[in-house]
A and B are shown apart, each in its own frame.
Chain A
Amino acid sequence: MPVDTDTVREMASLARLSIPDDRLEGVAADMRTILDFMGEISNWEGSPAPAAPATRRRTDTEHEPDGRALIEAAADVDAGEVVVPPIKGAS
């Protein structure tokens, strides 16, 4: 893959990361190695896949969700603020 220091600088800028100049070439080499390895995926273009069979379900049964338990587990709200337990060590 054509990854050079300019590519790394551009990707880092998009990702809001800062790579020091003295590390740019090392990161570029690293990305080239990994992307070349990942490039194996291009060998799979156009390969036919078998038709997916319908998913077989076995012993599963429909059920109603336990709404009460969920509500009990939810945090309390007081005047529009979520109430959480005291934070350990907080003053």
Chain B
Amino acid sequence: MEAAIIAGAVRLGSRRALDVVKEALDRAERAQHLGAFTELHPEHALACAARIDAQVAAGNNPGRLAGVPIAIKDNIAHAGMPMTAASRILRGYTAPRTATALARLEAEGAVVIGRTNMDEFGMGSSGENSALGPTLNPVDTKHVPGGSSSGSAAAVAAGVVPLALGSDTGGSVRQPASFCGVVGLKPTYGRISRSGLLAFASSLDQIGPMARSVRDVAIATHIMAGEDPLDSTTLRSQMGTMAAERKPDLSGVTIGLPEECWKPSDLGDVHRTVRAAIDGLEALGARVRQVQIPSLSAAIPTYYLLTSAEAASNLSRFDGIRYGDRAVSDDLIDTYTRTRSDGLGSEVQRRILLGTFALAEGWADDLYRRANAVRARMRAEIDHALTDTDALMMPTAPTTAFRLGEKHTDPIQMYLSDIFTTPPSLTGHPALSVPAGTVNGLPVGAQIVTRHHDEPTAMRLGMAIHGR
């Protein structure tokens, strides 16, 4: 059931929040084989639900998400709860405060039932890089759910919760949403506060909602959006609204198809499925035209150079002194080194080494600074393409969910899973993934990229494709 419908029923008193939350906790227990949760919080959730029921009984407004059970990725702070980012190095760490985005959802009555599994520190595209074990795709458990917000996507797709929070640095909300057949949004950079989100690559990281409907994603985004004094990169402007139309009149809307994402050599079942969804938008009046964004072909090297460099810096704080586990040694440098070597997983260590290399004297000009220049060029090219189009569309991922273990030993193939999702992350544009159909029973997502601040157009088109 959709979050909006649950909240309406709780507000009207036709359903008790306590019952709704108990049912969600039962579903989570039954879905344990998916490995979607790192931890459930039944006592906390039931106490919150009881408070909401008391508010309803007293005639008070319990909020727009009254009694809606939600799940949050294990890199989003929730006061008094453990936060590990699925890493051994943060075993035993407890968050001292609640992330702004989550505090805003809780203030509207959302109830956190647990924390979801993920690729360690957000580094991965399959949900396999977790110290707690992989997450399975509820659609077909032999396949990965995508990553890094693997558990959030799986929890929503399995119907455990109607709404979950992920974080998206290069596609970590959209790609698992595509693989699991749910809706996921990476908002405009700065739309939602990053305060309380464990940093991976700060110039790209964004919290994003995942749900079964575009409407729920829109509601959650509206609640979480807005300026936050705890994050100086948040936007001062308010997000626009959209009409919830299933079959909107799209005359006057132009959709751009970047040639770099629609190469004749790449056109397979996934592209054909997304193209059929775009045909549906044309039937509602939208016009479609080809556009060129040449720098898209440099997206993966640019993304991995910049994020690895930022990660090498951001993760240097995890040395055993202030956070989580510490290896015991009489020597300070040895304490740092042993703590980090024992506590960080192999993919995280690989990216830290790459980032350190990209920032090293002698290579920084060739790699890091050049990647920043390409990033600026990409932003200008996408802005340019969006001057006479309203949205750009392409598949969210080049394939459907691959099999567990299929790409785990080949980092380049794994990185290429993000080929369509990394550009909006680098340029800060909003991007929505909506289910567009299936190929061999596995979901296919369509990605809609719009101008900065224009999430409503992405959601309007997404609702026209998804129907809810």
* Interface residues, chain A, with chain B CB atoms under 8 Å away: 3, 7-8, 11-12, 14-19, 27, 30-31, 33-35, 37-45, 47, 49-53, 55-63, 65-67, 69-70, 72-75, 82, 84-88
Given contacts A39-B301, A84-B79, A84-B80, whether A60 and B453 have CB atoms under 8 Å apart is yes
Query: Which of B19-27, B91-99, B276-284 makes up part of the contact surface?
Result: B91-99
Q: Could you show 13 A-B contacts with beta carbons less than 8 Å apart?
A: A17-B341, A18-B337, A31-B353, A34-B412, A35-B357, A37-B412, A41-B367, A49-B376, A63-B226, A66-B226, A82-B97, A84-B96, A85-B80
Query: Which of B226, B237, B298, B360 is within 8 Å of A44, CB to CB?
Result: B298
Q: Is the CB of B383 within 8 A of A11?
A: no
Contact of A37 with B380 at beta-carbon distance under 8 Å, contacts A62-B238, A88-B43 already known: no
Are B229 and A17 in contact (CB-based, < 8 A)?
A: no
Q: A16-B316, A85-B80, A88-B41 are in contact. Are A30 and B411 (CB under 8 A)?
A: yes
Contact present for B104 and A69 (CB under 8 Å): yes
Cα A41 to Cα B352 in complex, Å, equals 19
Query: Which residue of chain B lies nearest to A37 when distances are taken between CB atoms in the complex?
Result: B412
**Is there an interface contact between B304 and A38, defined as CB atoms closer than 8 Å?**
yes
Would you give the 0/1 interface string for B264-292, flagging 1 where the beta carbon is closer than 8 Å to chain A? 00000000000000000000000000000
Additional pairs, 20, CB under 8 Å, beyond known A59-B241, A65-B228: A15-B316, A15-B353, A34-B411, A37-B301, A38-B305, A49-B295, A50-B384, A52-B383, A55-B452, A55-B453, A58-B451, A59-B240, A70-B100, A75-B98, A84-B80, A84-B97, A85-B80, A86-B80, A87-B80, A88-B43
Bound CA–CA A28/B100 (angstroms): 41
Q: Which residues of A are found within 8 Å of B319, using beta-carbon distances?
A: 16
User: Whole-angstrom distance between the alpha carbons of A42 and B366 in the complex?
Assistant: 7
Which chain B residues lie closer than 8 Å to A14 at the CB level? 356, 360
0/1 interface trace, chain B 345-378, chain A, CB 8 Å (1 if under): 0000110111011001000001100110110110
Query: Which chain B residues border A39 with CB–CB below 8 Å?
Result: 301
Nearest CB in chain B to that of A72: its residue: B107
Q: How many residues of B contact A (CB 8 A)?
A: 74
Interface residues of B, Cβ cutoff 8 Å to A: 41, 43-44, 79-81, 94, 96-98, 100, 103-104, 106-107, 226-230, 236-241, 294-295, 298, 300-302, 304-305, 312, 316, 319, 333, 336-338, 340-341, 344, 349-350, 352-354, 356-357, 360, 366-367, 370-371, 373-374, 376-377, 379-381, 383-384, 387, 411-412, 451-454, 456-457
When A and B form their complex, which 4 residue pairs have the shortest distance between CB atoms, in order from nearest? Answer: A59-B240, A73-B103, A85-B80, A60-B237
For A51, the chain B residues whose CB sits under 8 A away are 380, 384
A7–B226 contact, CB under 8 A?
A: no
Quote the shortest CB–CB distance from B259 to chain A (angstroms). 15
CB within 8 Å for A49 and B340 given contacts A11-B353, A69-B104, A74-B97: no
When the two chains form their complex, are residues A45 and B370 in contact, meaning their CB atoms are under 8 A apart? yes
- Nearest Cβ in chain B — how far from A72, in angstroms? 7
A30-B387 Cα distance, complex, nearest whole Å: 41
Do A55 and B237 touch across chains, with their CB atoms under 8 A apart? no
Beta-carbon contact of B301 and A15 below 8 Å:
no
Residues of A within 8 A of B228 (CB): 65, 70
Cβ-closest chain A residue relative to B377:
A49
Contact pick for A82, options B96, B100, B229, B356, CB 8 Å: B96
Q: Which of B79, B100, B333, B336 contacts A85 (CB 8 A)?
A: B79
A26 to chain B, nearest CB (A): 11
Q: Please tell me if the beta carbons of A55 and B451 are within 8 angstroms of each other in the complex.
A: yes
A12 to B226 Cα, complex, angstroms: 40
- Residue from A15, A47, A59, A62 with most neighbouring chain B CB atoms (10 Å): A15
Which residues of the other chain, B, contact A56 by a CB distance below 8 angstroms? Answer: 387, 451
Residue of A nearest to B319 (CB): A16
Shortest distance from the beta carbon of B124 to any chain A beta carbon, whole Å:
15
Is B357 within 8 A of A31, CB to CB? yes
Q: From residue A14, how far is it (CB to closest CB) to chain B in Å?
A: 5
Residues of A within 8 A of B301 (CB): 37-41
A15 contacts B366, CB within 8 Å? no
Among candidates A11, A55, A67, A69, residue contacting B107 with C-beta atoms closer than 8 Å: A69
List of B residues within 8 angstroms of A43 by Cβ? 298
A30 and B384 form a contact (CB under 8 A): no
Interface centre among A11, A62, A86 (most CB of B within 10 A): A11
CA gap between A59 and B370 in the complex, in Å: 35
Interface centre among A3, A14, A49, A56 (most CB of B within 10 A): A49
**Choice from B98, B238, B302, B411 contacting A60 with Cβ under 8 Å:** B238
Residues of B within 8 A of A73 (CB): 98, 100, 103-104, 106-107
Query: Known contacts being A52-B383, A55-B383, A61-B237, is A41 close to B302, with CB within 8 Å?
Result: yes
Are B451 and A17 interface neighbours, CB within 8 A? no
Chain A residue numbers with a CB within 8 Å of B239 are: 60
